[in-house]
Amino acid sequence: MRSRKRLSALVAVGVAAVMLSACSGGSEGGDGSSSGSLVLGSPLAPTTFAANDVSWANEAPYIQAVYDTLLRATPEGEIEPWLATEWSYDDERTVLTMALRDDVVFTDGTPFSAETAAQSVLGFKGGTSPYAFLLGRVADATAIDATTLQITLSEPDPGLLHGLTTAAGVQGSPAAFDSPEAQTSPVGSGPYLLDTAATVVGSSYVFTRNPDYWAPETQYYDDLTVTVLDNAQAQMSALQGDQVDVVNLLDSSAADQLEASGFVLHPAELDVRSLLLFDRDGQLVPELADVRVRQAIAHAFDRDAILQALADGRGTVTGQMFGESSPAFDPGLDQRYPYDPDRARQLLAEAGLANGFTLPLPQIPTGTTIQYDLIRQYLGDVGVTVELTQVPLQNAIADLTQAKWSAGLISLLQPATDWETAQTFLTEDATWNPFHRPDATVEQLVATIQQGTESEAAEAGRRLNEYVVEQAWFVPWYRVQSVIVSDSDIQVERQNDNIFPYLWNITPAQ
Amino acid sequence: MLRYVLRRLGRGIVLVAVVAVTTFFLLYAGSGDIARTILGDAATEETVLRKQQELGLDRPVSVQFGEWALHAVQGDLGRSWFSGQPVVDAIGSRVAVTLALVVGATLVSALVAVVLGVLAARTGGWVDRVVQAGSVIGIAIPGFLLAIGLVFTFAVTLGWFRPTGYVEFARSPGGWLASIVLPVTALAVSAIAGVAQQVRGSMLDVQRQDWVRTLRSRGLPERRVVYLHVLRSAAGPALSVLAVQFIALIGGAVFVEQIFAIPGLGQVAVQATGRGDIPLVLGLVIVVTVIVVVVNLVVDLLQGWLNPKVRRS
């Protein structure tokens, strides 16, 4: 009898201990404002911390925690000084001269200088970052003196300054470039230090305040944790259990429920969901060489219904690849191809395809097949037979960008500038021009964006957008709404061209 | 006995080698353009080629396998293509987490299942019917649904436990317990149901045998007959079911670790497989195979200890 009582007491103490520790664990991990700590929920872990190879987008907060960039961008995309305090181009816009700060020291004790900056620029250009292309026109980088960096370009690059606000501007200590631990132990000059002992690679990254940071006024928290929450359920549990302060929501249909629970939503439209008609010359599907056929396809879709069906209405119907923050964006072009199956059939008949044709399409597994059912249904209505073939998820990007398919359905980031939009989708070398088809009009207008005056470039951008919409190489459906969710005691400002808010724009609410 | 153990270990090593070779070539055959997958759509072809060279993917698969195998036998399973972390470290830091869940769930399920199975077999009547109905429900409820229900009820609503994450035992024993109670429960329920059914059936079978009647007729106390002789004899089949459940629990840990965002083998397996991180997937397959071999060996030894007839055979 006595032993049974003792057992009951032990069980009771155990349960109490668990509950107490659970309660203390919750506040320990999550309540950023009161403890001076910030916990971010990221949908993915960083690929690498090696300064020459870093990525961006969802990985930006990891990188911004430990590294500084030469320049910074405001949420609207305006370039601001950071490690570089002033900069100017020569008349040909092929030599960029930057004045650098002289009070910055890397965490290994190496002083930041024009020499280290030149090594960082060249290292990134020759590295394996997905964003190495941002420095593709850099011919050389040299130190003029201790605080003056000169970057020489092979030709003008209107995207360079913006690139230097992102991964391409990351400054690491050259002493760490060849270290075998470079991928997991960053040596930068950023506001935080990665606590490798407390970090579980791939799951939870713990950062502590850098006590020697040169701009302490931008260190809003004592410590920072970035937790990998790669599925919607874990995100919801962590948010509702007060374990995380800011999350990039993977399932935006949960947004309303979270808002009702007191969380603050920060929506933005950065990606465009489109059917891309790659085969502009008709190499795989000859019918696609005819602009009337491409325009017929553009007329075949009821974009409002598609937006409702696929995203519950969260997003905005569009007809152009240029994003809202891009100077060339023209709201009028969104209505260039209204849903008009009769017009689509008429255009196909004019192209000699009254009996339709077959369009092979890769089906990428994304958890739902609704989008492919819709494509088949809408194109089938106007006489185009869609032939779907399953493509493994891990091969999808490679297959789409290697001219294996004449068309593909995908969501892509809409860059914030005309130049980057052209480089991403339109030029001969563009990733999303996988058949690398040159086009004289595109090349001429892009050259003006590259080399013309500001007003000439803006006009060229507008004309380029019109031309591309008219050619119907892309059949955009809608701009996808992405939602960042935060606690009400956190203030978040979203970047106009990055999926995750920049670290310094996540601050305690006033 | 030693020869038996060595023979089993030898077979296990051959099995691990066969699994490793098969997995290597299967993964490489279906891997596609790994460098492009790692770098995404923004990277240029030039950068992709550089990445291929960096990873050694520009060499013939046979050469890559030879190099990997040479390092693997020395305990070096390479580095993750995505994080750059040594595979041994990536798995080493997570294997303890998954084992804590799986061993915890196994112990809980063994304990609860034996109690329920014995109770049902001994008592009969409505208790038996409740245990049987509960077992059917336990097996039928999808594990992920149960996990979500547990999180919502006990972590989000009541705030008794951590909804996500894992606390190391060394850092905080109470925190550790709070972080594994719900995942272990989610994992254990179906195992309890399966093993309880097995214990109940075996107990009923054994109780009907002549030697049990003989023990009773000799005047041995009922408790001694049931808990020493009948249960020991019935434990063999239950142990086999428990061993199968242990292996199944490793699989179950995949979804539990996802829902609870626990940094175990399941979470890293999902990440590595989705990304095509072949060195990490290979390492995981090898580690899980080793765990399966060891568990089976331990179960066979336990069977021998429980039942001398098994030892002799």
Q: Which residue in chain B has the smallest CA separation from A421?
A: B42
Cβ-based neighbours of A172, under 8 Å, separated by 6 or more: A50, A51, A52, A67, A106, A120, A123, A186, A187, A188
Structural domain contains residue B56: no
Structure tokens at B126: 């409505």
Instruction: For chain B, positions 258-277, list CB contacts with chain A under 8 A.
Output: 258-261, 263, 267-268, 270-271, 274-276
Q: Which residue in chain A has the smallest CA separation from B160?
A: A19
Do A17 and B177 count as a contact with CB atoms less than 8 A apart? yes
Rounded distance, CA B266 to CA B271, Å?
A: 9
Which ipTM score applies to this complex?
0.76
Range of the domain at B219: 96-278
Q: How do A264-277 and A315-317 pair as beta strands?
A: unpaired
Q: Which residue in chain A has the smallest CA separation from B269?
A: A202
| CA torsion angle B283 A47 A106 A220 (round to 10) | -120
Q: Which of chain A's residues have a Cβ under 8 Å away from the Cβ of B41?
A: 397, 400-401, 412, 431-432
Q: Which residue in chain A has the smallest CA separation from B277?
A: A394
Give residue B311's pLDDT band: very low, low, confident or very high (50, 70, 90): low
Do B33 and A395 count as a contact with CB atoms less than 8 A apart? yes
Do A241 and B155 count as a contact with CB atoms less than 8 A apart? yes
Structural domain contains residue B250: yes
Give the C-alpha distances (Å, rounded to integers) separating A313 from A303, A305, A309, A316, A413. Answer: 10, 9, 7, 8, 19
Do B263 and A46 count as a contact with CB atoms less than 8 A apart? no
What's the gap in Å between the CA of A51 and the closest CA on chain B?
A: 13
pLDDT, tens digit (0-9, with 9 covering 90-100), for A163-222: 999 999 999 999 999 887 888 899 999 999 999 999 988 889 999 999 999 999 999 999
Structural domain contains residue B126: yes
Give the C-alpha distances (Å, rounded to integers) separating A355 from A293, A299, A344, A352, A374. Answer: 12, 17, 12, 8, 20
Task: Kindly state the helix (H) or strand (E) to which residue A153 belongs, with its residue range.
Answer: strand A148-153
Q: Which residue has 């075949």 as its token pair? A: A300
Full pLDDT tens readout for chain A, 510 residues: 444 444 444 444 444 444 444 444 333 333 333 358 999 999 999 989 999 999 999 999 999 999 999 999 999 999 999 999 999 999 999 999 999 999 999 999 999 999 999 999 999 999 989 899 999 999 999 999 999 999 999 999 999 999 999 999 999 999 999 887 888 899 999 999 999 999 988 889 999 999 999 999 999 999 999 999 989 999 999 999 999 999 999 988 889 999 999 999 999 999 999 999 999 999 999 999 999 999 999 999 999 999 999 999 999 999 999 999 899 999 999 999 999 999 999 999 999 999 999 999 999 887 778 999 999 999 999 999 999 999 887 778 888 888 899 999 999 999 989 999 999 999 998 989 999 999 999 999 999 999 999 899 999 999 999 999 999 999 999 999 999 999 999 999 999 989 999 999 999 987
Residue to substitute from B27, B28, B31, B36, interface A, most A β-carbons within 10 A: B36
Q: Which residue in chain A has the smallest CA separation from B262?
A: A203
Cβ-based neighbours of A275, under 8 Å, separated by 6 or more: A297, A301, A375, A407, A408, A409, A474, A475, A477
Q: Which of chain A's residues have a Cβ under 8 Å away from the Cβ of B30?
A: 392
pLDDT, tens digit (0-9, with 9 covering 90-100), for B63-101: 888 988 899 888 899 888 888 889 999 899 889 999 999
Assess A203–B contact: CB distance below 8 Å, yes or no: yes
Query: Using alpha carbons only, how large is chain B's radius of gyration in Å?
Result: 24
Rounded distance, CA B63 to CA B65, Å?
A: 5
- Beta partners for A192? A209
Q: If DSSP codes are grouped into helix, strand and coil, which group holds residue A64?
A: helix
Q: Which of chain A's residues have a Cβ under 8 Å away from the Cβ of B270?
A: 230
Q: Which residue in chain B has the smallest CA separation from A420?
A: B42
Structure tokens at A476: 């955009």
Residue to substitute from A7, A10, A21, A199, interface B, most B β-carbons within 10 A: A21
Phi (first) and psi of residue A18, to 5 degrees: -60, -45
pLDDT at B118 over 70: yes
Assess A392–B contact: CB distance below 8 Å, yes or no: yes
pLDDT of residue B310: 61
Total count of domains within chain B:
1
Structural domain contains residue B197: yes
Among A391-400, B175-184, B221-230, B292-301, the range with the most confident prediction by mean pLDDT is: B175-184
Cβ-based neighbours of A447, under 8 Å, separated by 6 or more: none
Structural domain contains residue B245: yes
Structural domain contains residue B166: yes
Structural domain contains residue B244: yes
Structural domain contains residue B68: no
pLDDT, tens digit (0-9, with 9 covering 90-100), for A317-331: 999 999 998 999 999
Cβ-based neighbours of A25, under 8 Å, separated by 6 or more: B162, B167, B172, B175, B178, B179
Do A22 and B160 count as a contact with CB atoms less than 8 A apart? yes
CATH of the domain at B145: 1.10.3720.10
